[in-house]
Chain A
Amino acid sequence: MTDLPPIIPVSVECVFPALYPLAVHAPYSVTVTLASLSLPEFSGVATNPNATMVLESTQQAIYDNTNTLTNGAALGTLATQMATDWYRWQLGKVDLVYKGVCSWTPEGLSDGIEIIFAGKHVTTRIQRGTWHIFNDGGQEPTTPAGNLIVSDGVNTFTGISELILLNGTLTNGGGVATYTPGNQVGDISTYRISNGIFTPLEVGGPDNSSGFGMPSAGAHDQIFGIPFALPFKRTLAGLAVFLRASSGSTDTAAGTVVQLALYTAASASDDTITNFVSKTVDISVYHGATLGWLVGSLVGGHVDLNAGDYWILINAKYDGDASVTLGGFNANTVIAMLKASDRADGAGGGRFWWRGQVNQGDTTYGTWPNPMSGPAFTDRVSAVCPRIGFILT
């Protein structure tokens, strides 16, 4: 008789997040019973008939344009392998103490080895790990039930299970060129997306896409953030951007996000970050807005709008002016846009673009996508110590 039943569920359910081009799918799951694996280590072993171990994988279930799963066979093989390994990792059976120093060879089944000299009493303890050994072929434990409320002052997201905050520091690496009327300003970006990750990119011309930074034409004008990418195990419900925790900014325990703080330089020639003057702005998050009017307006030709794309628009207005609305930006408006969508070709995860522009001298910004014909930028905008949060369910 073994004591395995309490820790050995009758089956393992492997869950794979869905990658979809057209519609939202629930995660794809494969259930593997211990009996189906015919593992000799568990021959004749009774299991807990009421338990199923859920293992989250980061491998994606890929659907085509007809909503047909295309990699079901590979995921089935993976689920079998994950279940096999998980069951075997439960077999750590050692929790004993040897007299004296025992040169036990470290192995993966025992959690740790401890040698203790207590006066003249010398012992060595070898101990197995926790009952539910985390080994899920994925990267994170199961998401807890969401109870976080996140609000940007316009939209409120409830039932949020996780708010991921990424910390980093932006550095103004050089001077900022002024915007030339009549031309599109380069993306205010320092990061370029490649297979789900932002990589540093010099800000310069309109071909430089993505990231967050400031308009610039200089070859070495850079604002560095931190490389990041979204984990696609969750549903992206919103975006929170903390550019700086300054006075007037709120970052409460409930996750309320209502303001940004931006910095502007005192003059066009001033690129010393410490001379920048703090500005407080409001943000609004637009979730699921119809943004077709934006298509074609983006610089660099990087946008491939697909059905099912998920857009989040953030607009930020200096000095807490609540009059900022889509399509009618006023002076001193900072616009950043994030696109979060899975690639239609299924190659890799989602891609993100930051984009935006700054206008310091006009009273009417006009309607996007033609806000670029305003006067020259006379101030510069930077971001300090950004924290970017992804609101996930």
Chain B
Amino acid sequence: MISYAGVNLTVPSVQFASWIASNISLSDLIQHNPAPYLNKLLTSMPYPDQRQRPIKVSSLWWPQGASRWAVGHFIATESKLTALRAICYPYSAAQPLIMNDGLNNVTTNMWMLPPRPLAQKPINSTDLTKWLIPRSETWRADSPAGIGEPVYLLTLVDDRFFWWEKPSSVIINVGTTTWATLIAAIGSALGVSITTDTIQAAYLKPTAALIQFLPYLPLLLDLAAFAVGMHCVRGYDGSVKLQNATNAIAAQANNLSSFKVDRVGGGLLAIDVA
């Protein structure tokens, strides 16, 4: 079960996924493109280009980093979209996304971007045979008329998407500003509290080279993190931390020992000394 803002979302069937691919392919859809991201900062991005990721319906992708953001793509029928609009607008707060398989769940707050119509033309219940979308996707059993509904692609993003639109008041006074004060200032500008693992004194202080990135807070945070040997991690609960490699290795080991559920693919690379 997937719900957003308390509204259960449609989990499409394999047939519907095939219908989307055939009728309104999402493979060439580019939805996210902050201007500075594209225009002049791409060569400084510490991560692969997020825009290259394909759209996968009914999925949530949660990347590490400050310059990338979480993205979820889901299906919503028109009646559910109407309900979502009533809840999500005005756009004052992120709403909870719950992905629950019946045993475990992940819950996190996300923002709804403008939904895209996948099939907007409604049909008459007497003419369902002409409805191209598999009936199971839009058939409303609770509707007396059993009316098939238009369906939409729902795109959800986490706070990091809007970090690109936060004005920056961060300054670097070279020789005086420390990494800790710089990171705290970035957090203040973003409106989040950033925790950091211990910053090694060996990393000295920020240099003038970072100044060119001051207006772009997400990138600045990633670069500051890398500059002190850390990576930025945003948790499902909205917490933001800069994590060093040692603690990341420990956290990954803890994850591996915590989850004993079935593995259905992949595994562990052979890079353990042990």
Contact = CB atoms under 8 A, between A and B. Distances in A.
Contact of B212 (A114, A129, A229): A229
A139 to B, nearest CB: 5
Nearest to B243: A108
A350 B207 CA distance: 11
Given A115-B59, A119-B13, A100 B174 contact: no
A289 interface: no
A196 B273 contact: no
B248 A109 contact: yes
A125 B215 CA distance: 34
A98 B272 contact: no
B64 A106 contact: yes
Given A58-B207, A78-B203, A119-B13, A97 B63 contact: no
Given A107-B248, A167-B40, A2 B271 contact: yes
B269 A95 contact: yes
Interface stretch (B78-86, B125-133, B146-154, B259-267): B259-267
B56 A116 contact: yes
Among B40, B175, B249: residue with most chain A CB under 10 A: B249
Contact of A108 (B211, B233, B264): B233
Given A114-B61, A123-B264, A58 B209 contact: yes
Nearest to B255: A104
B21 interface: no
Contact of B273 (A45, A81, A96): A45
Interface string B86-107: 0000000000000111111110
A255 interface: no
A77 interface: yes
Nearest to B11: A117
Given A109-B245, A349-B174, A349-B207, A138 B227 contact: yes
B207 A114 contact: no
A3 to B, nearest CB: 5
Main secondary structure of the interface of B (DSSP, over half): mixed
B122 interface: no
Interface in A56-106: 58-60, 74, 77-78, 80-82, 84-86, 88-106
A310 interface: no
Given A106-B235, A139-B213, A99 B208 contact: no
Among A80, A90, A109, A230: residue with most chain B CB under 10 A: A109
B255 A2 contact: no
Contact of B14 (A118, A136, A140): A118
Nearest to B107: A103
A375 interface: no
Contacts of A82: 229
B52 to A, nearest CB: 13
Contact of B174 (A7, A119, A136, A195): A195
Nearest to A138: B227
B266 A77 contact: no
A42 B273 contact: yes
B51 to A, nearest CB: 15
B254 interface: yes
A101 B48 CA distance: 25
B194 to A, nearest CB: 13
Interface in B34-61: 39-40, 43-44, 46-48, 56, 58-61
B171 interface: yes
Contacts of B249: 41, 88, 91, 109
Contact of A139 (B12, B48, B223): B223
A197 interface: yes
A125 B101 CA distance: 15
B11 A4 contact: no
A30 to B, nearest CB: 12
Contacts of A136: 226
Nearest to B46: A134
B248 A165 contact: no
Contacts of A228: 211-212
Contacts of B44: 139-140
A55 to B, nearest CB: 10
B252 A92 contact: yes
B110 interface: no
Given A114-B60, A349-B207, A231 B212 contact: yes
Contacts of A128: 269
B141 interface: no
A105 B269 contact: no
Given A105-B254, A117-B99, A140-B44, 7 more contacts: A74-B204, A93-B269, A96-B263, A110-B64, A115-B59, A115-B62, A134-B46
Interface of B: 2, 11-14, 17, 39-40, 43-44, 46-48, 56, 58-64, 99-106, 171-175, 200, 202-204, 207-215, 223, 226-236, 243-249, 251-252, 254-256, 259, 261-273
5 nearest A-B residue pairs (beta carbon): A85-B229, A108-B231, A88-B245, A349-B208, A97-B265
27 contacts: A2-B273, A7-B271, A59-B204, A77-B202, A78-B204, A94-B268, A96-B265, A98-B262, A100-B102, A106-B233, A107-B248, A108-B232, A108-B251, A109-B252, A110-B252, A115-B59, A115-B106, A117-B11, A119-B14, A123-B264, A128-B269, A137-B228, A166-B212, A195-B208, A227-B215, A230-B208, A349-B209
